[in-house]
Amino acid sequence: MRNNRQSTSVCLSPKELKKSIDIAREELGQICDDIFDGKIALNYDGKICTAVPVDFHRCLSRWHQTSRTGVAIRNTILSCLYSTEVNQGGSGLIACLLWTGRISPDDVKSKKRKGSHAFAGDIDEIVSSWSRNGMSGTIVKKLIQVGACGSKVNLIEGKHYGTVVKVVSGEEIFGCIDPLFNSRADVPEESSDFYGVAIDGIVESVSQIHKMLSAAGNNGIVIAARGFLPDVSNTLLENWLSGKLKVIPFVVSNWGTDNFLDLVDSGFECVSHAMGSEIRRARLQKLIEMNVDSDRITYQAQKNTKTKMSVSFGMDLGALKGISIDRTKTLLALARFAARSGITKFDVNDCDFAVPSSSVIVGVRANNSMNNILQNMGGIITSSK
């Protein structure tokens, strides 16, 4: 039996397109007003938080669900705003404020960039403008004070209560926590004083490291080696899970130093077959301040050349943990943009609003591009089957 398909086509005239664009401008303008007036609430699994400017992309998702505009117009606008936001954080909101008339192109032209770099007070102002001094803003301000504009920051979900900010300075050993061990131990990050053992070879049996395990007492040990046989990993895992021993096996891909024996100066016990030493005869030296992550060990060295920062978000945040991490990540990006390009200030709905100058430049370009696209639409043909 042959199926007959019927299709209808509808051509929207320029007049109808203009009406749809005007509706979109009105609806997005209202969303911008509500963001700055604190009138938008975000619901995550029963937990409520008030939207702030850094949540603009989430509010766009809300508009997608309630928009009265045509699908083609709505998707064109969303594509422009989302893509520019991904390209340069903050620029999507600037483009939207320009497009809806909340700030004018003349206002942008009259603003002079406040230098090519921002001062500490300027960066604090950026964070406050975009977060309204919420928890994520407080965390970012603290990170900026200790040098986050030039250092890596890890944002992780913790299994504890309360949000913890850690700063560790030192050198790094690269690799990973032994996969067999970590498949059940699930060590996201450990910061403490550990005995350090560096083995330029493979640990083949527990008897090779038994003497060191006994000597550690209640202290932890980080054993960094080229590899561990399964029996060793399983034994260390069972002792870790039972709480009898706190030993982390770390598989090394790069010692992070030109000379393996340089680790001795930082307190590691170094073992290498190339220099005639044996694992069985190794002895623990001294406790070293370390941060053990999934892909690196950061240890306190004689000369601190690197700083590693991490924020572990607590379980008490519940469903808001994800939005807190996302806000912190975006605020860090905005702070770094401002540190490099300076800041520009606007008055939006009687609020002082500070923006990275680089985000303003990209936002202006995005607004011009969106206007050109919408103005050059002669009509839209839609079809249904």
- Tens digit of each residue's pLDDT, the chain (385 residues): 455 555 444 556 777 888 889 999 999 999 999 999 999 998 888 888 999 999 999 999 889 888 888 888 898 999 999 999 998 999 999 999 999 999 987 777 666 554 555 566 788 899 999 998 789 999 999 888 877 877 778 888 877 788 888 777 788 899 999 999 999 988 877 888 999 999 999 999 999 999 999 999 889 999 999 999 999 999 999 999 998 999 999 999 999 888 888 899 889 999 987 777 889 999 999 999 888 988 889 888 766 566 778 888 988 888 888 899 999 999 999 999 998 888 999 999 888 899 999 999 999 999 999 999 888 776 555 555 5
Own/partner long-range contacts of 143-147 (Cβ < 8 Å, ≥24 apart): 143/309, 143/311, 143/332, 144/120, 144/335, 145/120, 146/307, 146/309, 147/307, 147/309
| Cβ partners under 8 Å of residue 133, min gap 6 | none
CB 365, CB 372: distance < 8 Å: no
CATH topology for the 171-305 domain? GroEL (3.50.7)
| Cβ partners under 8 Å of residue 19, min gap 6 | none
State which H helix or E strand residue 40 sits in.
Answer: none
Confidence (pTM) = 0.69
State which H helix or E strand residue 300 sits in.
Answer: none
Residues of the chain with CATH 3.50.7.10: 171-305
Alpha-carbon span 251 to 247, nearest angstrom: 13
